[in-house]
Chains A and B, each alone.
Chain A
Amino acid sequence: MGGVSVEGPKGGRRTLDSEINLIPMIDLFICCISFLLITAVWSHMSRINANAQVPSPPRPDQEPEKVEPEKMLTVEMKQDDKFVLIWKSGATVHNTSEVKKQPVEVGEGSDKQVRYPDLAKKIQEEWTTYGSHKNDNDPKQDQAIISVDNRAPFSDLIAVIDAIYQPKRTYKGADWTSFNVTFSAR
């Protein structure tokens, strides 16, 4: 039991000792713990986005607008030893650079994951130089297209998407990814 000793008045003869019954509180705590343990989720999953960039169907009542082709980053992962980064708008190539494929393994055993920190660093630098949508009020994102070898495992693909999402910008004050990722159809 929890006891509370309260000093009586100065001239009084005895102190006022009152005891709070703590048993209901302990019962409540145990009920809370049981409920939270039963409903607990121990494996937290997340997701990584990609967008197919499907154009909306043309409206017959409107003349289609002529849109200037935007600068896009193509990340080619078709060679075993390197990534090729190409900035182009339409058929015009603005810049081409290469990054040596240096996978860094994270985790142990069957949970081993591959990451490409060098690629992420290079993409960050490239976006700083060639990226078109950096303004805080700009709702658009730069487009990244992944051109991947058909035999590449999905884990490699995710590692490259993760590297593309490394550069961050802000949109209306909130953190946002600089790129929107899609896949090359070939």
Chain B
Amino acid sequence: MSAKPHRHFEHEMIKQPGRRLMHHVPLKFVQKRVQGGGGKGVNASLNLTSFIDFLIVVVVFLLMSFSASGEVPLDKNTKLPSAENTVDMVDAPMVAITGTQILVDGTNAGSTRAIEEAGRLMKIDELHNVLKNKRELWKQLNPGKQFPGVVVLQVDKRVPALVVKSVFQTAAFAGYPNVSFMCGQIPKTDKGPPGGAHH
């Protein structure tokens, strides 16, 4: 039996490292990265918690102040008075008094000039006719229902009481006895005792 000759592989898998070029160059940043001792990573994550909190607060605020009734059209020259003991708006024909014009839902329905010149309470025929037509239309559209007879007056705070009373009376004659005056809201101060003293 003869001894097997030692096989010599041409490409050995592991072998002793030989000389390396530029080995004196330290390349510290590579060493750090390889050893895991480097600085901050490139990927930064944002904390979204405070952002989501802010969004929730805004959504809650907007939901609280949400109004489904929509905005009431108001002439920019009309300055409405404000009151404390008010109620919510209703959906009703809107009679606006701007300057000398009287408008019903935006359409012209007379002038206040004649009243101011006469200096006495008088019926405004044009307004009366427009309101009466509106009432008839409502009755045709809602047969069998009781007519609410509500009209909302949008009156500038400088308008004299004579004009207001004339419009009020005309609306009542036209079948709208429940007249509401549109106004702003003053925050409520102290309230009187509810129900009075006797019950």
Asked if A93 CB lies within 8 Å of chain B CBs, one says no
Q: Cα distance A29–B55 when bound, in Å?
A: 6
CB-CB under 8 A for A44 and B158, given A33-B59, A134-B195: no
CB-CB under 8 A for A33 and B62, given A47-B90, A157-B161: yes
Main SS of the interface on chain A? mixed
The minimal Cβ–Cβ distance linking B157 to chain A, given in whole angstroms, is 4
Contact with B along A27-39 (1 / 0, CB 8 A): 0011011001101
Q: Cα distance A159–B66 when bound, in Å?
A: 29
Residue of A1, A113, A154, A177 contacting most chain B CB atoms (<10 Å) = A154
Among B51, B65, B157, B169, contact of A155 (Cβ-Cβ < 8 Å): B157
CB-CB under 8 A for A22 and B89, given A113-B186, A150-B160: no
Among B85, B171, B194, contact of A162 (Cβ-Cβ < 8 Å): B85
Q: Cα distance A167–B193 when bound, in Å?
A: 8
Write out the residue numbers on chain A whose beta carbons fall within 8 Å of the beta carbon of B164: 154, 157
Smallest CB-CB separation from B190: which chain A residue?
A117
Q: Cα distance A104–B45 when bound, in Å?
A: 59
Write out the residue numbers on chain A whose beta carbons fall within 8 Å of the beta carbon of B180: 47-50
Q: Cα distance A173–B38 when bound, in Å?
A: 74
Please name 27 pairs of A and B residues whose Cβ atoms are closer than 8 Å in the assembled complex, sorted by A: A36-B63, A36-B66, A40-B66, A41-B71, A44-B67, A46-B185, A47-B182, A48-B181, A48-B183, A51-B178, A52-B177, A52-B178, A107-B82, A111-B82, A113-B82, A113-B186, A120-B192, A134-B195, A134-B199, A153-B159, A158-B82, A159-B81, A162-B84, A168-B191, A170-B194, A185-B165, A185-B169
**B interface residues (Cβ-Cβ under 8 A, vs A):** 45, 48-49, 51-52, 55-56, 58-59, 62-63, 65-67, 69-72, 74, 79-90, 119-121, 152, 155-162, 164-165, 168-169, 171-172, 177-186, 191-199
